[in-house]
Amino acid sequence: MPEGIIVKALSGYYFVQPADGGGILRCRARGVFKLRGVSPLVGDRVRFETSGGGEGTVREVLPRTTELVRPPVANADLAVLVFSVVRPELNLTLLDKFLVHVEAKRLDALIVFTKIDAIGEAPEPARVREQLEHACRLYGSIGYPTVRTSALKGDGLDELHGRLAGRVAVLAGQSGVGKSTLLNALVPGLALETGEISERLGRGRHTTRHVELIRLPGGGLVADTPGFSQLDFRELGVDDIGEAFREFRPLAAECRFRGCTHLSEPDCAVRAAAERGEVADSRYRHYAEFLAEWKESRRRY
Ligand SMILES: Nc1nc2c(ncn2[C@@H]2O[C@H](COP(=O)(O)OP(=O)(O)OP(=O)(O)O)[C@@H](O)[C@H]2O)c(=O)[nH]1
Ligand SMILES: [Mg+2]
Ligand SMILES: [Zn+2]
C-alpha cells in the first residue's frame, strides 16, 4: 500500500501527500479510528488507498515519534517559537511558557524574532532594540538558537532556511506575530492568508484557522498553525517545570535537598545563583510563577 504524509486536516478530510511525489489526495479515514482508536494528525505518516479522482482512504497511521496536542501535529522534531519585537510586543513570559512545553515534549527549540524592520515604529525604539539584544544573549547562553528576521526586508531568511533544512518543524506563537508571512517569504509562490493587526487590541485576528504542513524548497517541512497564547500546565508534572529550565539542571544537583523546588529551601544553589545574577532574574521569576500556576491548576481540577 502506498505511503504518504498528512499535510492538512479539514472538515473530516485528510489531505495526503504521497511519498512517491504524486499530487495531494483528499482522503477519509473512518476505518482507522474504528480499528485502532487513533485520530490522524497533520504530520502523520500513513498508508492509504486511492479511489480515483484525487480521492482516497487512509488505512493505517504509522507509529509517531512525537505528538503535540497544541498545536495538533505528529512527528515534529523542532518547535519554532515565533515572537514579534513589535505589534504584538515581545513577551518573555510567554516565551518561557512555550519553552516549558517544548522541553516536556522533548522537542528541540528555535526562537525566531520577527518584524525587526518595524522597530523604528515602536514608541521607544531604543528600548525594543535593547530588549531584543538582551533576549538573544540570554537564550543563546542557555543553549537556544535565535534568529532575527524581517519577512518584509528578507533579514534572517537564509539563516532560517539553514536551521529548518531536513527538519519537521512546527511554528508556535501568538496571533499576528507573522508566522504565515514568514512562511510566504521562505517559500516562493506560497500564498498563505495573512491578516492585519487589530489597531484597537494591538494583536492579530486569528487569521490562520488550521494546521498545514508546508514543504520547504531546501528540504524539510514546516507546519503553519493558528496563533495561540493560552497555555496551561495541567497535563505536566511538577518535575517537568523544574527540568524545563535547562540552566537550572546542573545547579539543582548542588542544592542541599534532593527534590528542592528552589523556592524557600535552605542552601538552594539555584536561588543562590539567581541572587548572584548568574541565573537571569526573568527566568527565576517565571519559574516561580509557573510553579504557582501549576499548583493552582492542580487545586482546581
Ligand atoms: N513590518 C513587518 N510586518 C510584518 C512582518 N511579518 C508579518 N508582518 C505583519 O504582521 C501581520 C500579521 O501577520 P500574519 O502572518 O498574518 O501573522 P500570524 O502569526 O500568521 O497570525 P495568525 O494566523 O492569526 O496566528 C500582517 O499585517 C503582516 O503584514 C515583518 O517582517 N515586518
Ligand atoms: Mg497565520
Ligand atoms: Zn534548589
- Give nearest CA residue, ligand 1 atom 14: 178
35: confidence class by pLDDT, cuts 50, 70, 90: low
- Give nearest CA residue, ligand 1 atom 16: 194
Q: Can you give the pLDDT at residue 36?
A: 67
Q: Do 81 and 91 form a contact (C-beta atoms < 8 A)?
A: no
pLDDT (tens digit, 9 = 90+) per residue, 182-230? Answer: 999 999 999 999 999 888 877 889 999 999 999 999 889 999 999 988 7
Q: Can you give the pLDDT at residue 254?
A: 97
Burial of 91 (C-beta count, 10 Å sphere; 0-12/13-18/19+): middle
| Ligand 1 centroid, distance to 65 Cα (angstroms) | 31
CA dist., res. 212 & res. 187, Å (int): 14
Average pLDDT of the residues in 223-249:
89
Ordered structural domains, the chain, with CATH: 3-61 (2.40.50.140), 67-224 (3.40.50.300), 238-300 (1.10.40.50)
Q: Is the CB of 160 under 6 A from ligand 1?
A: no
CA dist., res. 149 & res. 240, Å (int): 31
Q: Please provide the DSSP assignment of 15-42 as one string.
A: EEEETTS---EEEE-HHHHHHH-----B
| pLDDT > 70: percent of the chain | 98
| pLDDT > 90: percent of the chain | 82
72: confidence class by pLDDT, cuts 50, 70, 90: very high
| Ligand 3 centroid, distance to 249 Cα (angstroms) | 10
pLDDT (tens digit, 9 = 90+) per residue, 226-235? Answer: 998 877 788 8
CA dist., res. 8 & res. 61, Å (int): 15
Q: Do 78 and 107 form a contact (C-beta atoms < 8 A)?
A: yes
- Quote the cell numbers at residue 130: 535593547
| Ligand 3 centroid, distance to 243 Cα (angstroms) | 12
Q: Can you give the pLDDT at residue 232?
A: 79
- Give the predicted TM-score (pTM) of the model: 0.95
Quick one: which atom of ligand 1 is closest to the CA of 193?
A: 16
Q: Which of 190, 194, 209, 214 to mutate to test the pocket of ligand 1 (most atoms within 8 A of CB)?
A: 194
